[in-house]
Amino acid sequence: MSTKERNWWIVAGVLIIVYALFPIAWIVSLSFKAPADIANGQFLPTVFTWQNYSQILTGDAASLFLPALRNSFGICLIATFLACILAMFAAYAIARLNFRGKKLILSTALAVAIFPVISIVTPLFNLWRLIGLYDTWLGLIIPYLSLTLPLSIWTMSAFFREIPWEMEQAAQVDGATSWQAFRKVIVPLAAPGVFTTAILAFFLAWNDFVYGISLTSTNAARPVPAALGLFSGASQFEDPTGATAGAAVVVTIPVIILVLIFQRRIVSGLTNGAVKG
């Protein structure tokens, strides 16, 4: 590749990085501005301060933010875990077995994926309050499953279809028991797919907003996106821009870490294996 071409690629790369990171850089910069500095009209703060972070992590807003963070982590991890298990079984059936209803399940997954969440929050609210799941972790985990299952099923089916299942039989021919064959041959081949699906499902669950604001009302179960709108300034009339920005950054860090470390897997998962990276 000629130097000129290489330079163009570098320019393109830089442009893409700027495009992708600009709003993130902005919210990070905003989170370092003192409340009086927010209106300075500049990108960067005039004085860098940790005030907002101390407010949300140890100060007044901590009693709102820290439980929300704990809720988000707990609920999303559990929902991801459960979704992966359910999707694993379903994907195994779809990839390996031939049974009537395969199409139905996949079509249902599609239908659920495109469902407008807002249409079902009020009936769900009514149902949850009747059976006591309102404002609880389980009350959010169940809807999160419906958010994450479709993508999980699709992604895992795609991965499972690529697995050479005959190797299991080959291993058994070589003398392994059925369980050993599964454990030592299939599981290592399936693990990357499951892992990728887990990451994608986690992103979906982490991103939820509508369920969070409708099915919770206290620190018991409120996740961070819902809590973001609840920060307040020194009085009910003042805008809590700094605290909100700080909270936004804190809640973005896990996501950034996951993307940086697992980018190849994520790309592979989202392109249904067509692009290995």
Q: Which of residues 180-209 bind another protein (CB under 8 A)?
A: 183-185, 187-188, 191, 194, 203, 206-207, 209
Q: Which of residues 14-43 bind another protein (CB under 8 A)?
A: 16-17, 19-21, 23-24, 26-27, 30, 34, 36-39, 41-43
Of 2, 4, 98, 131, which lies in the binding site for another protein, with binding defined by CB under 8 A?
98
Scan residues 107-146 and list those touching another protein (CB under 8 A): 107-112, 114-127, 129, 134, 136-137, 142-143, 145-146
Q: Min. distance of Cβ 56 from another protein in angstroms?
A: 13
Number of residues lying near another protein (CB under 8 A): 149
Min. distance of Cβ 21 from another protein in angstroms?
Answer: 6
- Interaction of residue 66 with another protein, rule CB under 8 A: no
Residue 260, interface with another protein (CB under 8 A)? yes
Cβ proximity of 234 and 34 under 8 Å: no
- Cα–Cα distance, 33 to 87 (Å, whole number): 44
Taking the C-alpha atoms of residue 6 and residue 8, their distance in angstroms, rounded to an integer, is 5
**Smallest gap from residue 140 Cβ to another protein (A):** 11
The least CB distance from residue 3 to another protein, in Å, is: 12
Q: Which has the closest alpha carbon to 75: 127, 133, 132?
A: 133
Shortest gap between Cβ of 57 and another protein (angstroms)?
16
Q: Are 241 and 157 in contact (CB under 8 A)?
A: no
Per DSSP, helices labelled H in the chain are 3-31, 51-57, 62-96, 102-113, 118-131, 137-161, 166-173, 178-181, 187-207, 210-214, 224-228, 241-270
Q: Which one of 58, 170, 177, 178 is in contact with another protein (CB under 8 A)?
A: 170
What are the C-alpha distances in Å from 182 to residues 162, 178, 179, 197?
A: 16, 6, 5, 20
In the stretch 211-230, what mask flags binding to another protein with x, by CB under 8 A?
Answer: ---x--xxxx---xx--xxx
For residue 114, the tally of other CB atoms under 10 A from its CB is: 7
> With the C-alpha atoms ordered 66, 72, 75, 81, is the resulting torsion angle positive or negative?
negative
Nearest distance, CB of residue 186 and another protein, angstroms: 12
Among 2, 3, 4, 101, binds another protein (CB under 8 A): 101
